[in-house]
């Protein structure tokens, strides 16, 4: 085993600059606070699991640890299919350590995860690997799954955020618009049933991120 092979990361991705991370965490916090105060949201609170008689406060419901990022390739230290090929590819080698700008187009929330949808540029898509989950049984374009996990419910793994996003995009593709519930300062808020909420950002949130890897 060469040194290079022995050190495949947990994942590759774009890591938000700390100023951008702080900004986005502030936006997410404000979004949750707003939701907690909305009658329409309270009406659907039974979508969320609750313990005993405690009313769910979404402000305290989601947790995240580690740096905010948009995963490109989950490598699992080399155990994931295609990890080595990805790490060795020319585009990855050339882009490693370079800055880019990530454009966020929506925030979404489910009883499992809280995330931001990332709109990738053509250049960023060069770093997007083929993704069987993204491609399976749908005709969603490559990069559809791109997201930043902002938090997970207790006991939920962050991989779920991308799964939840793909489900939302599939609903939209099937012609479900969601029920437009409220016009918030950041944009229109829609409810898709089963505790799924989407805030389409009127103005995309844009900020700097570094293409790098996480080794854990
Ligand atoms: O929030 P995320 O994109 O979802 O960032 C984390 C990161 O890798 C470290 O856990 C993502 N992740 C975990 N497992 C997978 C997987 N099987 N496929 C794609 N992404 C994954 C997770």
Pick the catalytic residue: 18, 64, 147, 215? Answer: 147
For 31, 40, 127, 138, 203, the CA distances from 37, given in Å and listed in that order, are 10, 9, 40, 36, 23
Is the distance from the beta carbon of residue 71 to the nearest atom of ligand 1 less than 6 Å?
yes
Whether pLDDT at 2 is above 80: no
The pLDDT of 95-117, averaged and rounded, is: 98
Confidence of residue 46 (pLDDT cuts 50, 70, 90): confident
**Most distant pair of Cα atoms in the chain: their distance:** 59
126 alpha carbon – ligand 1 mean position (Å)? 19
> pTM for this one?
0.95
Pair 129, 72: CB distance under 8 Å: yes
pLDDT recorded at residue 137 = 64
Identify the weakest region by mean pLDDT among 13-22, 45-54, 98-107, 189-198.
45-54
Pair 213, 12: CB distance under 8 Å: yes
Render pLDDT for 148-176 as a digit per residue (tens, 0 to 9): 999 999 999 999 999 999 999 999 999 88
The pLDDT of 14-25, averaged and rounded, is: 98
The answer to ipTM > 0.90 is yes
Task: Reduce the DSSP state of residue 7 to 3 states and report it.
Answer: coil
215 has catalytic annotation = no
What number does the ligand 1 atom closest to the CA of 115 have?
A: 1
Whether pLDDT at 5 is above 80: no
Beta bridge partners of 107: 116, 199
DSSP 107-140: EEE-SSEEEEEEE--HHHHTTPPP-HHHHTTS-P
Q: What average pLDDT is seen over the chain?
A: 93
Nearest CA to ligand 1 atom 13: 159
């Amino acid at each position: 085993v060469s040194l290079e092979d022995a050190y495949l990361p947990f994942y590759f991705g774009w890591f938000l600059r700390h100023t951008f991370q702080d900004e986005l965490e502030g936006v997410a916090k404000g979004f949750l606070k707003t939701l907690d105060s909305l009658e329409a949201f309270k009406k659907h609170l039974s979508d969320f699991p609750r313990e005993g008689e405690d009313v769910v406060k979404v402000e305290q419901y989601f947790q995240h640890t580690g740096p905010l990022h948009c995963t490109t390739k989950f490598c699992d230290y080399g155990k994931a299919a295609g990890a080595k090929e990805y790490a060795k590819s020319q585009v990855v080698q050339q882009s490693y350590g370079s800055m880019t700008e990530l454009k966020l187009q929506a925030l979404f929330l489910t009883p499992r995860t809280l995330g931001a949808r990332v709109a990738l540029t053509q250049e960023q898509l060069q770093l997007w690997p083929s993704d069987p989950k993204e491609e399976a049984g749908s005709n969603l374009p490559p990069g559809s799954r791109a997201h930043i996990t902002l938090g997970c419910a207790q006991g939920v793994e962050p991989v779920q955020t991308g799964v939840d996003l793909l489900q939302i995009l599939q609903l939209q593709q099937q012609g479900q618009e969601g029920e437009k519930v409220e016009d918030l300062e950041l944009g229109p808020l829609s409810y898709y049933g089963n505790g799924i909420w989407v805030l389409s950002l009127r103005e995309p949130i844009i900020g700097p991120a570094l293409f790098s890897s996480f080794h854990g």
